[in-house]
Amino acid sequence: MYASAPCHVLHEDPGGVVRARMEVWEFGRTTIFTQRSTGIRLLRTDKLAKQDAMPVVAVSVQRRAQGRLEQRGHQRVAGPGELVAVDLSGAYDFSWSGDGAAGCIQIPFDQLSLPLDVVRRAAPELESSPLYRLVAEHVTSLARAPAAITADASSGAVAAASIDLVRALLVSAARAGRHARRVRFETLLSRVRAYARSHLADPDLSPATIAAAHNVSLRQLYKVCAEAELSLEQWIIEERLQRVRHALAQPDLAHLPIATVARRWGFRDPTHFTRRFRARYGMTPGQWRRSSAAARR
């Protein structure tokens, strides 16, 4: 796999203390790349860009400091939590001052199935897309816990959904006419899942609120789910159960009543929650919490 295209690495204060840590994880057909360092500048010149390089787009979230990007005459300053998109096969100039950090998902162009001009047109216009904040939060989550995400058995499915989200973002930002409608429909399910995962703690999360958030009818939402053989209501319950199960195994949450933990993940009715938990995992929430504590000991 790859971590970055060839570029010059210039430290802000080469005579002082220089700290840098870069990590890369395989993530389905993509990679997650994170970097934290003292002030740094990554300069890919036109000469370097003429060398062979795999066409890759990096959608990066700034985590510390302000990131400054210049590519193809466009300049962008991104604060913590904000996104930039970089065509790693082209020339670019990216930097930050002081202690900074960023994390990105790197996607080969052939996985996006989009014309190169669409991707390049979209890069400086990401903030114009209504999907911008959703994708920013998603990439932030990937960069926050890449080791756990890539080690999970479902990482391949999450990687595929991530590609769909980035693809939809780029098409939306580029206002890519004939591509937009097709991509919007094809990526609706991925966007719905990403939205639902980020709102699992909301007890009012429902197919109706999800449809409204994505400007589609309930009928269209159910049609997309039916084609994927997905029961949206059951999927939401399953996701919430997984979050509660994980929380009940955490020693720092052992002081919280089980009902409180369940409410944090959208379960209003303790009896209904306990019944669903037992049906899914073959034991009560209390039994699971005790067995997890015994295993730690």
Q: What is the CATH number of the domain that holds 273?
A: 1.10.10
- Looking at residue 54, its pLDDT comes to 65
Residue 217 lies in a domain: no
Per the structure, the complete domain to which residue 277 belongs is given by 244-296
Residue 165 lies in a domain: no
- Looking at residue 1, its pLDDT comes to 37
Q: Determine the Cα–Cα distance for residues 278 and 240; give it in Å rounded to an integer.
A: 14
Q: Which residue has the tokens 């930039």?
A: 84
pLDDT, block means (10 residues), the chain with 297 residues = 69 90 93 95 87 81 95 93 92 94 93 84 90 93 92 83 90 73 71 85 93 91 87 93 91 93 94 95 95 86
Residues 135-163 as b/e (b if ≥16 CB within 10 A, e otherwise) read: bbbbbbbbbeebeebbeeeebeebbebbb
Q: What is the CATH number of the domain that holds 85?
A: 2.60.120.10
Domain stops at, among 144, 179, 206: 144
Q: What angle do CA 69, 23, 199 make, to 5 degrees?
A: 75
Residue 178 lies in a domain: no
Residue 190 lies in a domain: no
- Looking at residue 181, its pLDDT comes to 63
Q: Determine the Cα–Cα distance for residues 262 and 241; give it in Å rounded to an integer.
A: 8
Give whole-number Cα distances, 220 to 2, 187, 227, in Å: 39, 13, 11
- How many C-beta atoms surround the C-beta of residue 11 within 10 A? 16
Residue 133 lies in a domain: yes
- Looking at residue 2, its pLDDT comes to 44
Number of domains composing the chain: 2
Domain stops at, among 129, 144, 159: 144
Return the half-sphere exposure (C-beta side, CA atoms, 13 A cut-off) of residue 57. Answer: 26
Residue 93 lies in a domain: yes
Domain stops at, among 144, 162, 186: 144
- Looking at residue 179, its pLDDT comes to 63
Residue 71 lies in a domain: yes
Same domain assignment for residues 20 and 128? yes
Q: Which value, in Å, is the radius of gyration of the alpha carbons in the chain?
A: 21
36 backbone dihedrals φ, ψ, rounded to 5° = -140, 135
Residue 18 lies in a domain: yes
- Looking at residue 32, its pLDDT comes to 96
